[in-house]
Amino acid sequence: MNLRRLTAIVLKELRQLRRDRLTFAMIVGIPVMQLVLFGYAINLDVRGLPSAVLDQANTAHSREVVAEIGASQVLDLRYRLSSEQQLQTLLRRGEISAALVIPADFETRLARPNPERTPLQLVVDGSDQVVQASARQLASYPLPGWQATPSMTVVNFYNPERLAPLNTVPGLIGVILTMTMVLFTAIALVRERERGNMEMLITTPVSPWELTLGKVLPFVGIGLVQVTVVLLVGWQLFAVPVRGSLLALYAASLLFIFASLTLGVFISTLARSQFQAMQMAFFTFLPQILLSGFMFPFAGMPKAAQWLAEVLPLTHFLRLARGIMLRNAPLAELWVE
């Protein structure tokens, strides 16, 4: 390994990246765009579902319950109905996603709790899974004055306000690095072969190790820049903290960057064109997004899917990033990942 030759390859790659304005824009543009989309648009905290109220009791107590549930902001109580026919019509038209029904004997059901005759009924649009999840959230809502109150209090550590960005932003670091590092590396190496530059470089005194490392090392710096961009934007827009060691987070990110770059180099040895390299990169990208625990709960997956997820680098980096950023966990406690 000759440091002078390696440095020459690295400088050549940096000059080429500087001339490629599209790639340079993607280095910063992709993290910012995904962070804004996942932070604002894709929010797992469901709020403001268009809803209606059918209050058949029409008592002071029932109106108090309607006001409290409306204050939870999960349901946007837009309509006050007078019949079940109106409720079915609005559901069928898609104008509402849920309806709160208070029976005429509401006070009696409150005074005599019976699991088979609950004081409230929440009618939901069963064709929407998100609406069903929100219904489960409201199903345990404690009613004022009802003696059958829940006997368990839920304490939410590390995210007491249940803010979705606190869960998504640490995961986005891994998602962005997975997409850019694998894709950029695979395409860069295949592009050199397509243009005939690889054969020309092989005829020089540069060894295969120097050539590969020289083309990969600039992307290590790019990956660390992307980590910094996500942390800064996440802190500015969503107040996402880094409760643990920043040095530990960068160390974990560096290890993950090398893992992603290795996968990109492997893809470049199989692909015969840049288009094939892009297809293969996305083929490895989708399983990591779906199985790593970023989008869906890891514990809810079948065992076979969990075993497959344990092979994927993103699965372990998500645990590292969330552990360091949100739980202030040291690397010594996360060494398995």
Region 261-284 average pLDDT: 88
Answer whether residue 269 shows pLDDT above 80.
Answer: yes
> Could you give the strand order of the β-sheet that contains 75-81, starting from the edge strand earlier in sequence?
75-81, 49-55, 98-102, 121-124
Range from 173-187, 208-222, 229-243 carrying the lowest mean pLDDT: 208-222
Answer whether residue 228 shows pLDDT above 90.
Answer: yes
Longest dimension (CA), the chain: 90
Cα separation, 51 vs 337, whole angstroms: 44
pLDDT at 297: 72
Range from 7-16, 107-116, 120-129, 295-304 carrying the lowest mean pLDDT: 120-129
Task: Residue 9: name the closest of 210, 181, 199, 252 by CA.
Answer: 210
Residues pairing with 53 in the sheet: 80, 100
- The pTM for the full model equals 0.70
Answer whether residue 323 shows pLDDT above 70.
Answer: yes
pLDDT at 148: 43
Region 73-95 average pLDDT: 85
Hey, what are 78's tokens? 């837009």
pLDDT in tens, 116-173: 777 888 887 765 555 655 666 665 555 554 444 433 344 556 777 767 778 788 888 9
Cα separation, 264 vs 269, whole angstroms: 9
* Exposure string over 60-81, b if 16+ CB within 10 A, otherwise e: ebbeebbeebeeeebbbbebeb
pLDDT at 166: 82
Cα separation, 217 vs 178, whole angstroms: 16
Answer whether residue 104 shows pLDDT above 60.
Answer: yes
pLDDT at 152: 38
Answer whether residue 61 shows pLDDT above 80.
Answer: yes
Cα separation, 134 vs 75, whole angstroms: 9
Q: Give the chain's mean pLDDT.
A: 80
Q: Which residues contact 54 (CB under 8 A, 6 or more apart)?
A: 81, 82, 83, 84, 86, 87, 99, 100, 101, 102
The more confident residue out of 296 and 22 is 296
Instruction: Report in angstroms the alpha-carbon separations of 107 from 17, 53, 123.
Output: 71, 17, 20
Q: Which residues contact 72 (CB under 8 A, 6 or more apart)?
A: 138, 141
pLDDT at 42: 58
Instruction: Report in angstroms the alpha-carbon separations of 37 from 123, 238, 240.
Output: 31, 12, 15
| Angle formed at CA 91 by CA 90 and CA 95, multiple of 5 degrees | 60
Using N-to-C axis directions, what is the helix angle for 274-291 and 313-327, rounded to 10°? 50
Say which amino acid occupies 13: E
Answer whether residue 96 shows pLDDT above 80.
Answer: yes
Place of tokens 């530990």: 248
pLDDT at 227: 93
